[in-house]
Amino acid sequence: MNKKRVLVIPFLLLNGAVILAALFKGIQISLGYYPLIGLNKISLTNYQQVLNDPFFQKSLGYSCYLALTATFLSLLLGLLLAFLLLKIKIPWLHKIISLPISLPHIIVALMMMQMIGQTGIISRLFFQLGWIQEVGQFPLMIHDRGGIGIILVFLYKEIPYVAVTTLAILQQLQLGYIEVARNLGASSVRIFFAVILPMIQKTLFTLFIILFCFTFASFEVPYLLGNPSNQTVALTAYDLFTQADLTTRPQAFALNLVMSGICLVVAAVALVISRILPGGRKTS
């Protein structure tokens, strides 16, 4: 066995034991076995209460809306940016565009609050220019029901991530296929959908899974920029877990496991679709 692989085994065993122990404990509490507060009967009651709760259903819809909107826009705009960077070979520009990747989401959320809030930099600039009569006339994009500020934070972080990741793949593509298609009279649109897209399809689906799961389960950004009347699933689970009444904690664990299950289902569906499409088919 490779020596490097042997050295990794203790790390994998330690982390695997911690993760499995936490998962087992979470499943145990979510099923109602929580002796600390006198619950000793295993049942699916907590899952039924969570899934049938109208507030959870609303939170689930809102979380899916934020995750899908941010993910699809990030993939689309990130891919366009990658093609642009492929044409513009300026090293310092590439470094500037990749800078947001290194910033924590909470820092970006605070930056966005200062920039586009109704008392932020842009609204005050508009007021000084006379475009608005008072700062309250500036469009509400923080703590709004549509989650515009939340989506902008995710776009600021995820578009460069998609662009940098996709750019690395585009730079390694076998350009001979593109030249052959061009010589045969294929248009640029046809070349993209028939040649380039199948080559980067697996990467795009992998990015979709990563971005969707992260944004769907994100906590800090919706917590700072979200509207109290529109909570994400993560915020709903946090509220249940931090209540003084400990009997709500099993529901919080159930909600977290439902959230994890949704991410697994979305990932599985995305992988199946990726295999069905031309870029995922095995050629003999």
pLDDT tens sequence across 101-121:
888 999 999 999 999 888 889
216-226 mean pLDDT: 91
Q: Tokens standing for 204?
A: 């795009």
The pLDDT of residue 79 is above 50:
yes
Q: Is residue 233 part of a domain?
A: yes
> CA 121, CA 130: separation in Å to the nearest integer?
14
Domain range for 60: 51-280
Residue 33: the pLDDT is 83
Give the pLDDT of residue 284: 41
Q: Is 104 left (phi over 0), alpha (psi -120 to 50) or beta?
A: beta
Total structural domains within the chain: 1
pLDDT at 161 over 90: yes
- Look at residue 15 and tell me if it is in a domain: no
Residue 63 falls inside a structural domain? yes
Assess if residue 148 is contained within a domain.
yes
**CATH number, domain with residue 145:** 1.10.3720.10
Task: Quote the tokens at residue 263.
Answer: 């991410």
Structure letter (DSSP) for residue 92: H
Residue 120 to residues 107, 123, 175, Cα–Cα distance (Å): 16, 6, 47
User: What's the pTM?
Assistant: 0.87
Tokens representing 72? 């699809």
Span 25-53, pLDDT tens digits: 888 888 888 887 787 888 888 888 888 88
Asked if 162 contacts 79 with a C-beta cutoff of 8 angstroms, the reply is: yes
| Packing angle, helices 249-276 and 3-30, rounded to 10 | 130
Q: Give me the residues paired with residue 34 across strands.
A: 39
Residue 18: inside a domain: no
44 found inside a domain: no
Domain contains 149: yes
Residue 69 resides in a domain? yes
Strands, E, within 194-247: which ranges?
Answer: none
CA atoms within 13 A on the CB side of 151: 19
CA distance 192 to 5: 40
Structure tokens at 66: 């934020």
DSSP 31-65: TT-BGGGTB----SHHHHHHHH-HHHHHHHHHHHH
